[in-house]
A = this chain, B = another copy of it.
Amino acid sequence: MAEKVTGLEIEPSMKVMDLVKSMENCGLQATQVGRAAKIISKMKGKGTVRILTFTTNLVTSGMRELFAKLCREKKVDVIITSIGSVEEDVMKCSSSFELCSFDEDDVKLHKAGKNRVGNMIIANKNYERLEKTLMSFFEKEYSKQVKLGRLLAPNEIISDLGLELNDKDSFVYWAARNKIPVFCPAPTDGAFGLQMYFFKQRRPEFGIDVTGDLRPLGRIILDADKTAGIILGGGVAKHHAIGANLLRDGFDMAIYICTGTPYDGSLSGARVNEAKSWGKIKENADTVHVEADASIVFPMLATILLE
């Protein structure tokens, strides 16, 4: 028998966890949040490999510290993200970003050396400091490349970088220490790539073998009893996670939280169902799509994951 729509009972002092659970029978996106909470609960079973993906803007935001906590408490097992996430996590180890509105005068910001990401600002000085960090880091990685006689893979470089950090609010720091691999299918995008462009003028042989991420990611996915996806936003991180699960005929469970529309046929806006046609998510997998900004919804769901 079909489940009924039931009224929300809101109390001023209620807990997030209780709100989230009660949303399941509310209808609309509240129901999707409630269903996501249920799936998150199931992700905590032994043998389930939890793959978390996110876009860079979430690291620009205060979600970074939540990702760090999830890595510190080993609530996720694999991270796939864009390189911007890594570089901004590093910048935040020694500085802060600012809040602004979504409607700033961007020409004025540019003249002031302020780079905008939605309603947040990263000042140029952050990039200047990053430049120095990366230049000396690349030199070390270049030595390692020479010593090993092969190019490094993105996950190796990110892990090496994480071991150099000293900030307990950094997800790269905790991922490295807790052996949570951070895969990155496009490591030359972002400031990381720009600095590498300059570094290569001195060391033209320095490179990154992006195919080096394939085998370790493949092994984890093949070895898992179950795989569970927590897909925040779209982009190459999302596709890489679901694509890799083709090796085992799809994720066993997955939640998507993003804002894109499925009606432009983009991967970023695609729903869980589309992935089932491909075998990137199993036909009978537990899945839900929440159409929302992850910065609103994922903190709510994280209370379940951290429980």
Contacts and interface: CB of A to CB of B under 8 A. Distances in A.
A189 B211 CA distance: 10
Interface string A83-112: 010000000000011111011101101110
A12 B17 contact: yes
Interface stretch (A128-136, A158-166, A233-241): A233-241
Nearest to A97: B5
Interface stretch (A173-181, A194-202, A223-231): A194-202
B29 A263 contact: yes
A63 B209 CA distance: 32
Most chain B CB inside 10 Å of its own CB: which residue of A14, A269, A277:
A277
Given A119-B31, A296-B30, A5 B99 contact: yes
Contacts of A264: 28-29, 57, 118, 233, 259, 291, 293-295
A214 to B, nearest CB: 4
B2 A121 contact: yes
Contacts of A84: 239, 267
Given A8-B65, A10-B303, 14 more contacts: A8-B66, A13-B17, A27-B62, A29-B293, A30-B293, A55-B266, A106-B273, A110-B283, A115-B277, A116-B278, A118-B263, A185-B189, A197-B218, A200-B211
